[in-house]
Amino acid sequence: MLLHVYRNLIARIVIKQRDRQTDDFRDIVLQIADGNEPDPELISQALWATDKKPDNLRQAVELLQRCRQLRLHMIGCRSWRPSGLGSSGKSQPTTRFWKRPRRSTSG
What integer pLDDT is reported at residue 18 of this predicted model?
Answer: 75
Provide the mean pLDDT of the chain: 78
Q: What is the pTM of this model?
A: 0.58
Is residue 98 within 8 Å of residue 67, measured between CB atoms? yes
Virtual torsion, Cα 75, 78, 83, 88, nearest 10 deg: 110
Domain positions in the chain: 2-76
Contact 86/54 with Cβ under 8 angstroms?
no
Tell me the pLDDT band of 43, cut-offs 50, 70 and 90.
very high
Rounded distance between C-alpha atoms, residue 61 and residue 78, angstroms: 28
Output the pLDDT for position 16.
80
The Cα–Cα gap between 26 and 39 comes to: 14
What mean pLDDT comes out for the span 15-21?
75
pLDDT of amino acid 8: 85
Percent of the chain scored above 70 by pLDDT? 70
In percent, how much of the chain has pLDDT > 90?
33
Task: Answer whether residue 79 shows pLDDT above 90.
Answer: no
Higher pLDDT residue, 98 or 11? 11
